Amino acid sequence: MCQYRYKPIGKPCHKMTFLGQGYRLLRVSYLNFSSTKKHNSNLSYFSNNASLSSLAQPISTTVKLLLLFFLFSIPLLSYAANKPTLIVNKSVQQSSISMGALRTIFGMRLRSWNDGTTIRVIVLPDNHPLHSSFSKRVLGMFPHQLRWAWDRLVYSGTGQAPIQVSTEEQMLHILQTTAGAIGYLETVPKDDNIHPLEIR
């Protein structure tokens, strides 16, 4: 009696792993792809594996689909058209900031502005084109890096996550009304309650 659960079809008893079986099916489907001649030359292999060979047809379709999927998943990036502008609430006295300080602020590791006001970081969702564009083109980081940094703080209790809003309108509203707020906008309206921050 066979004591293993995963045995290849058509063989009496032989230990087979998930991976081994996967490889075998892939191999079979590859062979099916190849020329008839090549197929024929492997006929003896299939003849004692009749059921496996019939399995190969749908599998090869699956493999084709998988290949197509990977081919078309060459990362598609939706950028915001303009480079986002770094914006702060009017309560923030400074007009420029260093790249290092900016990364520390968006990494949620700096609490207060030079005058002691609480820093409030406002962000859009990870998959928002403007957030993605801001992370990459302004901070020189990737959204997934920022998320991991925030997760490490939040889930270890050693820090807090930024305030997340879902639209640019909400972002603008919070920047206008919250002391110490820092965020980003694609188009900056004329407004005395906010001002851009230059990166040194």
Partner 1 sequence: MKLFQQPLRHLIVIIVVLAGFVSNVKAESNADNVQIHGFLTQSAISTNANNFFGSSRHSVAFDFTEIGINTSYRPKNKWLLSGQLLSRRAGQTDGGKIRIDYALIDYTIRDQISSRWGIRAGRILNPLGFYNETRDVAFARPSIFLPQSIYFDRVRDLAISSDSLYIYGEQRFQHNELLWQIGIGYPRISNEEIERSLLGQLLPGQFDSSASLLGRLLFEIDGGRFLLGISGAHALLDYSTGSGSPLQSGRVTFAPVIVSAQYNGEFLALTAEYAQRSFTYQNFGPLLADNNFVGESAYLQSVYRFRPDWDMLLRYDVLYTDQSDRQGKAFAASHPSTAAFSRYARDATIGVGWQYSSALLLRAELHHIIGTAWLTGADNPLASHVEKNWDLFALLASFRF
Which residues lie near partner 1 (CB under 8 A)? 4-6, 15, 17-19, 70, 73-77, 98-101, 103-104, 107, 109-112, 116, 118, 120, 125-127, 132, 136, 139-145, 148-149, 151-152, 154-161, 163, 174, 177-178
CB of 93 to partner 1, least distance (A): 14
Positive/negative CA dihedral, 163, 166, 168, 170:
negative
CB of 142 to partner 1, least distance (A): 5
Q: How far is CA 79 from CA 30, 64, 126, 129, in A?
A: 38, 30, 13, 5
CB of 131 to partner 1, least distance (A): 11
Is 136 or 195 the residue whose CB approaches partner 1 more closely? 136
Could you give the CA distance from residue 31 to residue 191 in angstroms, rounded to a whole number? 67
Backbone conformation region of residue 134, classed left if phi is above 0, alpha if psi is from -120 to 50, else beta:
alpha
| Residue 56, token pair as written in the block | 């190969």
Q: How far is CA 113 from CA 48, 60, 105, 117, in A?
A: 75, 60, 10, 5
Is 46 or 185 the residue whose CB approaches partner 1 more closely? 185
CB of 51 to partner 1, least distance (A): 20
SS3 178: coil
Query: What is the greatest pairwise CA distance in the chain?
Result: 83
CB of 41 to partner 1, least distance (A): 30
Is 84 or 107 the residue whose CB approaches partner 1 more closely? 107
